[in-house]
Amino acid sequence: MIDDLVVNAALCMLMTAAAIWTVVTVRLLRAAIGLALTSALLTIVMYRFGSPLAAAFELSVCAGLISVIFVSAITLTSRLSSDRLNQRESEVLRRFWFLPLLVIIAGVILYKTSIPIEIIAFEGKTAAQDDVRSIIWNTRHLDLIGQIAILLAGAIGVVLLFKERKHG
Amino acid sequence: MADSVYVFWLFGIFVALLAIVGFYCILITSNLIRTLIGMEIVTKAVTFLIILVGRSTGNTGLAQSFAITLIVVEVVVIVVASGVVISVFRRNGSIDVNLFRNLKG
Amino acid sequence: MPTLLIILPLALLLILNLPLLRAARRVSFWLCAVLALAQVVATATHMGGLIPDLGAAFDPYIVLQLRMTGLSEVVLLAIGIVVLASLFTARAMIADHDERFKFGNLVILAMMGLNGTALLADLISLYVFIEITAVSSFILIAFDRDSDGLEGSFKYIILSAVATAALLASIALFMMVSPDTSFAAVRAALAVSQHSFYVNLAAGLLLCGLFVKGGLVPFHWWLPDAYSSAPAPASVLLAGIITKVSGIYALIVVSTSILTVGGAAGEVIMVLGIVSAIAGALLALGQRDMKRMLAYSSVSQVGYIMLGLGSGTALGVAGAVFHFFNHAIFKSLLFVNAAAVEGSLGTRDMDRMGGIASKMPVTGVTSIIGFFSAAGIPPLAGFWSKVMIIIALWQAGHQTASVVAVLVGVLTLAYFLSMQRRVFFGRLREGLGEIREARMSILVPAVSLALITVAAGLFFKPVFSKIIMPVGEMLVK
Amino acid sequence: MSELNLVLPIAVPIIAGILVLPFRAARGTVHAIITFAVAAFTLALSLALFGSEAALSVPWAPFGLDFSLRLYSFSAFILVAAAGFGTLISLYAAAFMRGKEKQNQFYGYFLLTMGLVNGAVLSDNLLLMLFFWEGLLVPLYGMIAIGSEKSYRTATKALIIVGASDLCMMLGIAMVYSITGTLTISKVSVATGSALGSAAFILMAIGAFSKAGSIPFHSWIPDAARAAALPFMAILPASLEKLLGIYFLSRICLDLFALTPDSWLSVLLMALGCVTIIIAVLMALIQKEYKRLLSYHAISQVGYMVLGIGTAVPIGIMGGIFHMINHAIYKSCLFLTGGAVEHRAGTTQLEKLGGLRAAMPVTCICFLVAAASISGVPPFNGFFSKEMVYAGALERGPVFYIFAVIGSFFTAASFLKLGHAVYFDRKGDGMERVREASPAMLIPMVALALLCVVFGVWNAWPLDTLIAPSIAASGVTPGETHGGASVFLVVMTCVALGGAILNHLSGYHITRRGFTAVDHIHETPGLSWAYERAENRYNDIYDLGKRALVFCARLLMKVDRAVDWVFERLAVAAAYATTARLRALQTGNYSLYIVLCLAGAAAVVAYLVQ
Q: How far apart are CA C210 and CA C123, in angstroms?
A: 12
- Candidate from B37-41, C156-160, D68-72 with smallest mean pLDDT: D68-72
Confirm or reject contact between C152 and chain A (CB < 8 A).
no
pLDDT 10s digits, C447-469: 999 999 999 988 888 888 888 88
- Which residues of chain A does B85 touch, with a Cβ-Cβ cutoff of 8 Å? 73, 77
Q: How far apart are CA C440 and CA C448, in angstroms?
A: 12
pLDDT value of position D513: 63
- Which residues of chain C does D59 touch, with a Cβ-Cβ cutoff of 8 Å? 461
Q: How far apart are CA C31 and CA C34, in angstroms?
A: 5
Quick check: B62 and C180 CB within 8 A? yes
Q: How far apart are CA C183 and CA C253, in angstroms?
A: 9
Q: Which of the residue ranges C166-180, C194-208, C395-409, D42-56 has the most confident prediction, judged by mean pLDDT?
A: C166-180
C165 vs B8, B46, B102: nearest CB: B46
Enumerate residues 37 to 66 of chain A having a beta carbon within 8 A of any beta carbon in chain B: 38-39, 42, 45-46, 49-51, 53-54, 57-58, 61-62, 65-66
A110 vs B13, B74, B86: nearest CB: B13
Element (H, E) at D69: strand D65-71
B105 vs D586, D594, D595: nearest CB: D586
Task: Assess whether pLDDT exceeds 90 at residue C234.
Answer: yes
Smallest Cα distance from B8 to chain C, Å: 10
pLDDT 10s digits, D287-331: 777 877 888 888 888 888 888 888 888 888 888 888 888 888 888
Is residue D268 classed as helix, strand or coil in its secondary structure? helix
- Which residues of chain B does A51 touch, with a Cβ-Cβ cutoff of 8 Å? 51, 54-55, 60, 63-64, 67
Which chains reach chain D with 3 or more Cβ–Cβ distances below 8 angstroms? B, C
Q: How far apart are CA A32 and CA A68, in angstroms?
A: 9
Question: A143 and A74 share a domain?
Answer: no
The residues of A whose Cβ lies within 8 A of any Cβ of C are: 115-122, 124, 129, 139-143, 145-150, 152-154, 156-157, 159-161, 165
Which letter does DSSP use for residue D358 in this model? T
Quick check: C150 and B54 CB within 8 A? no
Task: Assess whether pLDDT exceeds 70 at residue A118.
Answer: no
Residue type, D589: N
Q: Structural domain tally of chain A? A: 2
The ranges assigned to domains in chain D are 1-175+209-244, 259-533, 569-609
Residue C415 lies in a domain: yes
Instruction: Give the count of alpha carbons within 13 A of D491, CB side only.
Output: 3
- Which residues of chain A does B42 touch, with a Cβ-Cβ cutoff of 8 Å? none
pLDDT tier at C163 (50, 70, 90 boundaries)?
Answer: very high
pLDDT 10s digits, D16-32: 888 877 777 666 778 88
Residue C449 lies in a domain: yes
Question: A102 and A28 share a domain?
Answer: yes
Smallest Cα distance from B11 to chain C, Å: 14
Q: How far apart are CA D533 and CA C217, in angstroms?
A: 76
pLDDT tier at D50 (50, 70, 90 boundaries)?
Answer: confident
List C254's β-bridge partners, or say none: none
pLDDT tier at C127 (50, 70, 90 boundaries)?
Answer: very high
Residue C171 lies in a domain: no
Question: A10 and A57 share a domain?
Answer: yes
* Mean pLDDT, chain B, integer: 88
Residue A116 lies in a domain: no
Confirm or reject contact between C198 and chain D (CB < 8 A).
no
Question: A135 and A72 share a domain?
Answer: no
Instruction: Give the count of alpha carbons within 13 A of B20, CB side only.
Output: 20
Residue A85 lies in a domain: no
D65-71 and D54-61 as β-strands: parallel, antiparallel, unpaired?
antiparallel
Q: Which of the residue ranges C149-163, D248-262, D442-456 has the most confident prediction, judged by mean pLDDT?
A: C149-163
pLDDT value of position C109: 93
Quick check: B53 and C142 CB within 8 A? no
Smallest Cα distance from B92 to chain A, Å: 10
**Which of D148, D51, D38, D134 shows the shortest CA–CA distance to D90?**
D38
- Which residues of chain A does C143 touch, with a Cβ-Cβ cutoff of 8 Å? 160
Q: How far apart are CA B74 and CA B62, in angstroms?
A: 18
Sign of CA dihedral C351, C354, C360, C364: positive
Percent of chain D residues topping a pLDDT of 90 = 2
- Which residues of chain B does D588 touch, with a Cβ-Cβ cutoff of 8 Å? 100-104
User: Domain of A137?
Assistant: 127-168
B76 vs C135, C151, C176: nearest CB: C135
Residue A8 lies in a domain: yes
- Which residues of chain D does C203 touch, with a Cβ-Cβ cutoff of 8 Å? 608
Quick check: B100 and D590 CB within 8 A? yes
Percent of chain C residues topping a pLDDT of 90 = 44
Choice between A54 and D230, residue whose per-residue pLDDT is larger: A54
* Mean pLDDT, chain C, integer: 87
In this structure, how many other beta carbons lie within 10 angstroms of the beta carbon of residue D435? 10
In this structure, how many other beta carbons lie within 10 angstroms of the beta carbon of residue B97? 18
C-beta separation of D35 from D110 below 8 A: yes
C-beta separation of A40 from B52 below 8 A: no
Confirm or reject contact between D584 and chain C (CB < 8 A).
no
D587 vs B23, B97, B104: nearest CB: B104
User: Domain of C352?
Assistant: 262-477
Class of domain B2-94: mainly alpha
pLDDT 10s digits, B12-63: 899 999 999 999 989 888 888 989 999 999 999 999 999 998 888 888 888 9
Residue C99 lies in a domain: no
C-beta separation of D421 from D347 below 8 A: no
pLDDT tier at D420 (50, 70, 90 boundaries)?
Answer: confident
Quick check: A12 and B64 CB within 8 A? no
Q: How far apart are CA C223 and CA D550, in angstroms?
A: 57
Task: Assess whether pLDDT exceeds 50 at residue D541.
Answer: no
pLDDT tier at D535 (50, 70, 90 boundaries)?
Answer: very low
Report the number of secondary-structure helices (H) and strands (E) in chain C.
21, 0
D163 vs C155, C159, C410: nearest CB: C410
pLDDT tier at C351 (50, 70, 90 boundaries)?
Answer: confident
Task: Assess whether pLDDT exceeds 90 at residue B78.
Answer: yes
Q: How far apart are CA D396 and CA D267, in angstroms?
A: 9
Residue C70 lies in a domain: no
Question: A17 and A99 share a domain?
Answer: yes
